[in-house]
């Protein structure tokens, strides 16, 4: 159970670093997946983190397990980014922003 917690924390870290790279270096939206994959693999390599021993899967070469874990981190980070983007925009969808502007902000001007 601790493995899933660590995995999700690493996925959130991958998402945060990818978003940071996106804002700092003005990375285009087309490169989001590649940046996420590179960040996830780098985080897995730096932490020497492999998810395969937690599932009792024997992999002959350790670097393969670490690299595949990095790609899994990147995929989970992209999924989390999509879910968080949906829920962050949900407030605007439920409370129509144009309607709020028309009723409150435009009357202040007039």
pLDDT in tens, 84-99: 888 887 776 766 666 6
Reported confidence tier of residue 32, pLDDT bands at 50, 70, 90: confident
* 79-80-81-85 Cα dihedral, nearest 10 degrees: 110
Residues sharing a CB contact under 8 Å with residue 75, sequence separation 6 or more, in sequence order: 40
Residue 83 corresponds to which tokens in the numbers above?
A: 């879910």
- Number of Cα atoms under 13 Å in the Cβ half of residue 53: 9
Number of domains the chain is built from: 1
Residue-range definition of the domain harbouring residue 87? 2-109
Residue 87 corresponds to which tokens in the numbers above?
A: 């829920």
Q: Model pTM?
A: 0.76
């Amino acid at each position: 159970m601790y493995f899933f917690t660590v995995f999700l924390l690493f996925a959130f870290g991958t998402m945060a670093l990818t978003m940071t790279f996106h804002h700092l270096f003005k990375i285009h939206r087309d490169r989001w997946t590649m940046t996420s994959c590179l960040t996830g693999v780098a985080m897995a390599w730096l932490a020497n983190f492999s998810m395969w021993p937690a599932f009792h899967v024997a992999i002959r070469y350790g670097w393969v397990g670490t690299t595949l874990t990095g790609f899994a981190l990147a995929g989970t980070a992209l999924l989390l980014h999509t879910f968080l983007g949906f829920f962050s925009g949900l407030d605007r969808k439920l409370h129509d922003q144009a309607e709020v502007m028309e009723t409150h902000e435009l009357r202040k001007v007039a």
